[in-house]
Amino acid sequence: MSFATEIVAPDGYKVQLNTGLFINNEFVAGANTIDTTNPATGKVITAVQAAEIEQVNQAVDAAEKAFHGGWRFSKPQVRSRLMHKLADLVQRDAEDLAHLETLDNGKPLRDARNDIHGVVNQLRYFAGFCDKVYGKVIETSARLSYTVHEPIGVCAGIIPWNVPMLMLSWKIAPAVATANTVVIKTSELTPLSALKIAALVKEAGFPPGVINIITGYGPKAGEALARHMKVSKIAFTGSTATGRSIMKAAAESNLKKVTLELGGKSPNIIFDDVEDLDQVVFWARAGIFRNAGQICSAGSRIYVQEGIYDKFIQKFKALTSSGKVGDPFQKDTFQGPQISQNQFNRVMNYIELGKKEGATCYHGGKRVGTTGYFIEPTIFTDVREDMRIVKEEIFGPVVVVSKFKDVDDVVAKANDTTYGLAAAVFTSNIRRAITVSNALEAGSVWVNCYNVITENSPFGGYKQSGIGRENGEYALANYTQIKAVKMNIAKL
């Protein structure tokens, strides 16, 4: 059965795509189908095959067979070559992937192209680690002791809808580099770019079963992966509530290893000694309104020192209002739509809640147009720390801006959250930058920039923002298990 189809983007660009489940290097039928929608119009793009328990079992069985059938002992040079080949193919088909991502997710085409650079960099970075996973020799009396870092086995990854391609590479690259096999479940909202990459996996020459990519609903396919007895490790990126459910399922099944990259309510702190306020405003806008605010590390709480607050808020509003909200395929668009009607409703409900709580809607707060899921970038001022729009993750183009007096005041406010994914500090004082960075309870702290995330630097959260780290050498620990070997070399 063929699931090949042609996808035509609004700008006329055409992409050939297979919409089946990618299991054992073949596109196969699912239990049913799911319609995927263009969030800029609300219209269906195409239908994709959807997995339930039976198809999840097939994917896991294929991954297990590949792991024990030789992949776990594959030569590092072979794994590295395959990963570099996949990176080459992603580069070759960059326009196909970017158009699929923009059509399915709604982010501006410019940003989708930038995400592809991140995918390629991720694959190449971890390809370089294939032959650099080392153990240790430990000095013991009359005995030889050493450690070996071995692959875990079948690793599952559940990826979100906000940056689908990039999250796919974050889950695949370190797992495959360390000789594991993988089953990836995409979001039902944004499956298209992953299905295109699935075809490239086969073209690159990966053996059947090493990389499997399926689409399905969380309560069915996601739950089945989290509880599967043959899955030895699961990685999830998404909401804190779903992360709890995955931990529970892992604990109640086979105690599989879990890494979680979850929500955030990240503080962006701006001191009055900054030298170039226009640059600060540029970073502040990008930090919250890129990707329509649908970024887990978005700088959704901005704290500005009293002396420059008035000047900052005026400049921030002016720059924010200058950005075009609209068709993501247009070159001058800064902000695209929210991902779905449900997410649109969620964000609009928070905006109304903020008004009811007594905050001032300083800018935005309204729907843009009559089709699609577009919302004006929204700025709230005159907020209190106990307001829900200050405490809760909105995951949309909504920011709260507050004043602060001094370091102690702002650090206390910044850390008064259940989250701890990221934070930023803008200052010209290097001592203050280091002091405040050290005091912030967050997995990433950016100084005089925002959301600078790279493949060679760890990313993950404190508190309820997650467990474990992705990216960088630190990520390898999530996909290996350590064996200690002790040999008696004394005469018996």
CA 285 from centre of chain: 20
- Pick from 242, 291, 348: which is nearest to 39 by CA? 291
The DSSP bridge pattern shows strands 301-305 and 444-447 to be unpaired
Strand segments (E) across 405-457: 422-426, 444-447
Q: Kindly give the pairing relationship between strand 378-381 and strand 360-363.
A: antiparallel
Q: Is 296 part of the annotated catalytic residue set?
A: yes
| Contact between 107 and 454 (Cβ < 8 Å) | no
- Structure letter (DSSP) for residue 474: G
Residue corresponding to tokens 């030789």: 70
Burial of 328-344, coded b for 16+ CB within 10 Å and e otherwise, reads bbeeebbbbbbbbeebb
Dist. CA 329–CA 252, nearest whole Å: 45
Exactly one of 188, 296, 393, 441 is catalytic; name it: 296
- Bridge partners of residue 236, in order along the sequence: 158, 260
Q: How far apart are CA 235 and CA 448, in angstroms?
A: 31
C-alpha 195/C-alpha 489 separation (Å) is 53
Q: Which of 101, 261, 376, 470 is catalytic?
A: 261
Measured between its terminal Cα atoms, the distance across the chain in Å is 65
Burial readout 214-247 (b: 16 or more C-beta within 10 A, e: otherwise): bbbbbebbbbbbbbbebbbbbbbbbebebbebbb
Buried b / exposed e over 186-197, threshold 16 CB at 10 Å, is bbbbbbbbbbbb
Tell which residue, 353, 395, 359, has the closest CA to residue 380.
Answer: 359
* Residue that the structure tokens 């928070």 belong to: 350
Full DSSP string of 260-308: EE-----EEEE-TT-S-HHHHHHHHHHHHHGGGG--TT---EEEEEGGG
Strand ranges (E), 331-377: 333-335, 360-363
| Cβ atoms of residues 403 and 305 within 8 Å | yes
- Which positions are annotated as active-site residues? 261, 296
